[in-house]
Structure 1
């Protein structure tokens, strides 16, 4: 009858599935296990040591520190000293080999000059049909040591630039004379400077420096320095361009701007060439002086070379012998004349 007493229109009893006794028991046990778990406890460590292997990442380790010794052992010191001595020995052997090579090159050049005294001249390079033959022998690769070859070639290029500048100076002075007839003196002097200074520069300062580098001659070095110093002064004068001196310098070219602009421009170009000559001459003079200081040349050696060269010169010997014989004959004649008078 209890089934008939229930109200069929009443709300059914709410049933919570999570209130089941088995579910509640399982969740409570899981919570207790998670809250009480300590992986670093003694029991857990014992379990792992008995049954499982702890991974490397889980193990704590202190990084290894390489301890460097402040004091070296005697064996290490001796090895370092021996290595240093070996290095110094190799450096000395290399320098000695370099000196031997240079000395051998110098001996070979001296021997070749002594053996080949009749070596044919090759400068200036003129055609064989030309009536004038070359006057000098020049070979940088054969006669000039490698250390001085570059500077010697630059001096040769400076002489070539010097000659070209003097030729352009003739053309500029010709334009100067064309613009104003009163500047005919400059044109005439420019021709004289070109004809005179081109060979004189080659003989007086280029060939001496070539001989100095070729034979390590102290006298040639001093002769070059003496002459080239005046050449630098001449370059400066030509660069300035004093009117009436035959040089197309800055003063002469600027004075022509109002009269004839085209001629002034041509003269300014030549003035720039003279300026470049002066600058290059100063630079090369310093380079040659630095090379000269490395050769061991000195004024005493220059005096010895000059005296030996003069005394061994055949022309000087013949002139001295002629002078001595004439002096002796004149003295003998004077003595004979006095004896006759007496």
Structure 2
């Protein structure tokens, strides 16, 4: 066992264990260290850290990365869409202003030869449904052309000596006036108002009367004698009598009647799908019809009271 006393070492005797080691290091001058002392190393590392931090804040603009082309393209696309939305909004506002101006001023534009009502699909129908209403309007115009051609074919049937030709021509002439007005008032105008106002009662008016019109169109396409139709049956009689020109007109009349029935049936189904999507019901239609009748009665009573009051 060693007899050395660890406290006899000179390095322990020369130091006071209760003294602050930091104070000791602070009292030692830097010049007494031959190399880099601990204090010198700490100082150097501190200055290096400070230099690195200052270099971060002193970054020049040239060191900033360039803008990403994809981000720039996306920003340009967003700006373009914003401009398109703003342009559409301006167009809608202009259309609304024009519609309000026309309504307040009472400017009628239909029919053109004798304006009785105001009708404008771009101004009154929502943009999502304008194409549907335009197609239905074109079907109504096609109906006018079909009625006119049907009358000409029936007139040629009379001149060709076809039996019951006079009855066919007379009835077809009556169709040119009655069907024209009835189709516009009973199913085209209701579907126009239905898409414009989204009211159930207008949809029901369209479904009822356009349903009758579809049946009428296919009935006319068959061409029974004395019904005012230059349809299929009368067409066969005309060709059997070797009346080629009258037969050709009957062919066109038959085709147009079938097109009329098929086109109306297609849009009947399309309007019915929209009706279901919007959640319209028959109860809503009845309530709207009742409220409309009450309102019209109130207006009539007010007008009658005003008239009688002025007379007194």
TM-score bracket for this pair, using the shorter chain length: 0.5 to 0.7
Scaled by the length of structure 2, what TM-score is found? 0.63
| The one of 273, 277, 280 aligned to 2:256 | 273
Match of 1:288 in 2: 271
Distance 1:109 1:264 in 2: 50
Describe the shift of the 1:158–1:299 C-alpha distance in structure 2 as closer, same or farther (beyond 3 A). Answer: same
User: Does the aligned pair in 1 maintain the 2:98–2:123 contact within 8 Å?
Assistant: no
d(CA) in 2 for partners of 1:118 and 1:304?
31
- Count of matched residue pairs: 215
- Structure 1: gaps (5+ residues): 1-97, 127-132, 323-342
TM-score normalised to the size of structure 1?
Answer: 0.57
Of 124, 132, 155 in structure 1, the residue corresponding to residue 136 of structure 2 is 155
Query: How far apart in 2 are the matches of 1:167 and 1:157?
Result: 15
What secondary structure is seen at the aligned counterpart in 2 of 1:222? helix
Separation in structure 2 between the aligned mates of residue 320 and residue 170 of structure 1, nearest angstrom: 43
Cα deviation for residue 285 of structure 1 reads 0.6
In the alignment, the residues of structure 2 paired with residue 118 and residue 219 of structure 1 have an alpha-carbon distance, to the nearest angstrom, of 28
2:171 matched residue in structure 1: 189
1:305 Cα deviation from its structure 2 partner: 1.1
CA contact (8 A) 2:191 2:203 kept: yes
Q: Which has the higher contact order (CA 8 A, sep 6+)?
A: 2
Write the mapping of 1:1-342 to structure 2, written as runs, cut at 5 A. 116-126=103-113, 133-180=114-161, 182=163, 183-262=165-244, 263-314=246-297, 317-318=300-301
Q: Do the aligned residues in 2 keep the contact of 1:174 with 1:187 (CA within 8 Å)?
A: yes
Aligned equivalents of 1:116, 1:160: Cα separation in 2: 25
The root-mean-square deviation of aligned C-alpha atoms, in Å, is 2.9
Residue 170 of structure 1, CA deviation: 0.6
Deviation at 1:181, TM superposition (A): 5.9
Which protein has the larger Cα radius of gyration, Structure 1 or Structure 2? 1
In 2, the alpha carbon distance for the partners of 1:110 and 1:314 equals 31
- Residue 241 of structure 1: CA displacement? 0.5
Structure 1 residues 242 and 115: CA distance shift in structure 2, 3 A? closer
Structure 2 segments unaligned to the other structure (5+ residues): 1-84, 306-312
Distance (whole Å) between structure 2 residues aligned to residue 303 and residue 109 of structure 1: 30
Give secondary structure in 2 for the equivalent of 1:225: helix
Structure 1 stretch displaced more, 259-268 or 162-171: 259-268
Aligned residue number for residue 48 of structure 1: none
Looking at structure 2, the residues matched to 151 and 319 of structure 1 have their Cα atoms a distance apart, in angstroms, of 39
Change (3 A) 1:116 1:174: closer
Deviations 1:47-80 (A, max 9, x none): xxxxxxxxxxxxxxxxxxxxxxxxxxxxxxxxxx
Q: CA deviation at 1:286?
A: 0.9
Contact 1:311-1:317 within 8 A present in 2 as well: no
Work out the CA distance in 1 between the residues paired with 2:239 and 2:261. 24
Q: Distance in 2 between matches of 1:115 and 1:246?
A: 41
In 2, the alpha carbon distance for the partners of 1:253 and 1:119 equals 47
After superposition, give the CA deviation of every residue in 1:161-197 in whole Å (9 maximum; x if it has no partner): 0000000001000110000164111011110011110
